[in-house]
Amino acid sequence: MSKKFDGWMPRLKKANTPGALPFYQQIANAIADDITTGRLMPEQRLPAQRRLAAGLGIDFTTVARAYVEAQRRGLVDSTVGRGTFVCGKRRPAIPRAVEGRPNIDLSMNMPPEPASPELAQLMQAGYAEVGARLRDLLRYQDFCGSRDDREAGALWLRRRGLVVPQERMLVTPGAQCALLAVLATIAPAGSVVCCEELTYPGLRALAGQLGLKLVGLPMDSEGIDAVAFAAACAQYAPKALYCNPTLLNPTTAVMSAQRRQALVEVARFHGVAIIEDDAYGFLPRSGPPPLASMGPDITFYIAGLAKCVGAGLRVGFLVAPDAHYTARLTAAIRATTTMVSPITAALATRWIRDGTADLMLAAIRKECAVRHKIALRALPGASLDATPDSFHLWLRLPAPWGRRQFAETMAAAGVAVVASDAFAVGAPGMAPEAVRVCVGGMADRYQIQHALELMGQALRHPPPCVAHGV
């Protein structure tokens, strides 16, 4: 099946041979076998992926996936601009992913997981203390958090410059639950909610469930354009403006203080409530204040611990504009989720009070900065919206790449990313040619670097005749 070729060449079984593995696994196995027999020597350079693909008469993405698999096993090492080499010293093997799923999942937007043993011990100590109170925590508690939990939530929000009275603070089973409660309370079915033209997919899902119409607003490098918001208010009479003003998911845009103030003024003039999703607001060490500090009387402020402490810590903090809305939101939360889990809330409260949450946030910030540098090195010259404060980045694709083909190509190579369609509000097919890439989650630095280098190779060598957006 191979053409004339100079250099190392694996011996592959035909795909229709009984018991034959997929080609990418055969190539990775051949690398392992040839290292063992001495056919491949330490530091030996392997053929470039496109050259080997041409020699074998197979698709480039198959060879790319094979090299990813070989690197995962610690057999080879790849560097942009140098190539792929047999490892002089065997690397520790990385466990394989579940069969049929991408080897490196960069689609879920989760913070990087701190690896510090000392921090792990502190987390375990807090967990043990909560466990000592388990009998009490197995009972029903206040529907929106105990007084202790609400005080801890208020303490946490002070890191964002917010001073929240007890009568306006609610503790929820995550930020998504808080968003559901707010929308169900202030936006009847059939009403309009304005948002960024590229917005959080969870908002789109809730709008579909509740029968709301989303109107996506034009954006610039800071996010929502205030003039466009004013025009939408006059045209649609929306019930609310939803926005993610700090490290917007997916583009990482950060709204300036001046822009925030302008949006608050427009919303107040037209009598429109603001829903501020501050999911990533704790990640920057400094930045503009929340909209809730500028317009507390019209803003429903939502923050959670999933993006700044850990994705599995399903605790959210919801600040209502006044006590009247606190009562209505409490009723909505009781009707949908009953209450925040007392055990989870107690753990969050413990970690906030003893400083563990701050240490976890600091570790996430530090790792985000490291991975930002990895991304810049691995994707030189790419049109990239990224910041050292964020664990997601927005990759704008050059022609002739289309967003869906790029995502499919990366999936075939074992790397999962999210095409822009998941975030776009408006007419189908109008999404930009871009993908969101998460550099956090369970993937370590080595996996992140290799996945990004694989993306860089794909960007430099697009397939022919790719139609944008198809």
Instruction: State mean pLDDT over 433-452.
Output: 93
Q: What is the pLDDT of residues 251-266, one digit of tens each?
A: 999 999 999 999 999 9
The answer on pLDDT for 112 being more than 90 is: yes
Q: What is the pLDDT of residues 157-181, one digit of tens each?
A: 999 999 999 889 999 999 999 999 9
For 140-354, CATH gives 3.40.640.10
Q: What is the pLDDT of residues 276-318, one digit of tens each?
A: 999 999 999 988 999 999 999 999 999 999 999 999 999 999 9
> Quick check: pTM over 0.85?
no
Q: Which residues of 58-93 are buried (b: 16+ CB within 10 A; e: fewer)?
A: bebbbbbbbbbbbbbbbbbbbebeeebbbbeeeeee
Reduced 3-state DSSP string for the chain = CCCCCCCCCCCCCCCCCCCCCCHHHHHHHHHHHHHHHCCCCCCCECCCHHHHHHHHCCCHHHHHHHHHHHHHCCCEEEECCCEEEECCCCCCCCCCCCCCCCCEECCCCCCCCCCCHHHHHHHHHHHHHHHCCHHHHCCCCCCCCCHHHHHHHHHHHHHHCCCCCHHHEEEECCHHHHHHHHHHHHCCCCCEEEEECECCHHHHHHHHHHCCEEEEECEECCEECHHHHHHHHHHHCCCEEEECCCCCCCCCCCCCHHHHHHHHHHHHHHCCEEEEECCCCCCCCCCCCCHHHCCCCCEEEEEECCCCCCCCCCCEEEECCCHHHHHHHHHHHHHHHCCCCHHHHHHHHHHHHHCHHHHHHHHHHHHHHHHHHHHHHHCCCCEEECCCCCCEEEEECCCCCCHHHHHHHHHHCCEECEEHHHCECCCCCCCCCEEEEECCCCCCHHHHHHHHHHHHHHHHCCCCCCCCCC
Class (C level, CATH) for 23-86: mainly alpha
CATH topology of domain 104-114+358-460: Aspartate Aminotransferase, domain 1 (3.90.1150)
The answer on pLDDT for 398 being more than 90 is: yes
Q: What is the pLDDT of residues 31-70, one digit of tens each?
A: 988 888 888 888 899 998 888 988 898 888 888 888 888 8
CA-closest candidate to residue 454, choices 410, 402, 424:
410
Residues near 37 by Cβ (< 8 Å), separated by ≥ 6?
none
Q: Which residues pair with 318 in a beta bridge?
A: 170, 302
Q: What is the pLDDT of residues 329-380, one digit of tens each?
A: 999 999 999 899 999 999 999 999 999 999 999 999 999 999 999 999 999 9
Round the average pLDDT of the chain to a whole number and report it. 89
How confident is residue 464, by pLDDT bands cut at 50, 70 and 90? Answer: low
Residue 64's pLDDT is what?
A: 84
Of the ranges 12-16, 90-94, 293-297, which is most confident?
293-297
Residue 231's pLDDT is what?
A: 98
The answer on pLDDT for 225 being more than 50 is: yes
Instruction: State mean pLDDT over 144-157.
Output: 94
Instruction: State mean pLDDT over 211-230.
Output: 96
How confident is residue 147, by pLDDT bands cut at 50, 70 and 90? Answer: very high
Domain ranges in the chain? Answer: 23-86, 104-114+358-460, 140-354
